[in-house]
Structure 1
């Protein structure tokens, strides 16, 4: 089962229910060498689901002192595709290793 790192709106139960049809299980994890910047969302469906105009976006910094806390969610292959559809075109999905040693997917800015 793949892992998906959420550091923003995918942690919200409402977003999970509307995107995946269920509440996801996960555990806290950390991502080094990244920081968060905010992105203004204009997609009406994403705005409706999240209720937020600005969403966080991961940005590689290369600085090991930078660290982002989030939740490593357990998802299915189908749910990865559903998450791809939820994220706006400004994001791209990549696989990475987290501080815990676990691997998973993150969404970063293009």
Structure 2
């Protein structure tokens, strides 16, 4: 089974969401993503709202200028990544991006605004 880096700037950092999505709390380290700004979207999926405790969720949108959005990087396996995909609603898409540390990690951004390698493209390589 492969391992992956998953960058979270939002609800996937919450211990209760991790227990709901992955069945355990994840260990991670601090990092940053650049080239994005933080916005908000309203989630309507009842299961996601129940897990996170809120209908308002953060979302990343690409920007031209240098920004730094802090978050945590988790090492996850294929099953964890599939569970995260299931948790994230259609408003998000998962892309592979460089982090400030130089690591490459998956991150969920606003659907339709991706500027990295999508999950579908990565599986084709």
Q: Is the pair's TM-score, using the shorter chain for normalization, greater than 0.5? A: yes
- What is the Cα deviation at residue 62 of structure 1? 1.9
Where do 5+ consecutive residues of structure 2 fail to align?
112-125
The structure with higher relative contact order (CA 8 Å, sep 6+) is 1
Does residue 1:26 correspond to 2:28, yes or no?
Answer: yes
* TM-score, scaled relative to structure 2: 0.85
Indicate the RMSD between aligned Cα atoms, in angstroms: 0.7
* Structure 1 moving runs of 4+ over 2 Å: none
Please list, as runs of the form range in 1=range in 2, the aligned pairs for 1:1-110 lying within 5 A after superposition.
1-64=3-66, 66-110=67-111
Where do 5+ consecutive residues of structure 1 fail to align?
none
Count, aligned residues: 109
- Deviations 1:39-96, CA, capped at 9 Å, x for gaps: 00110000000001100001110211x1100001111111001000000101000001
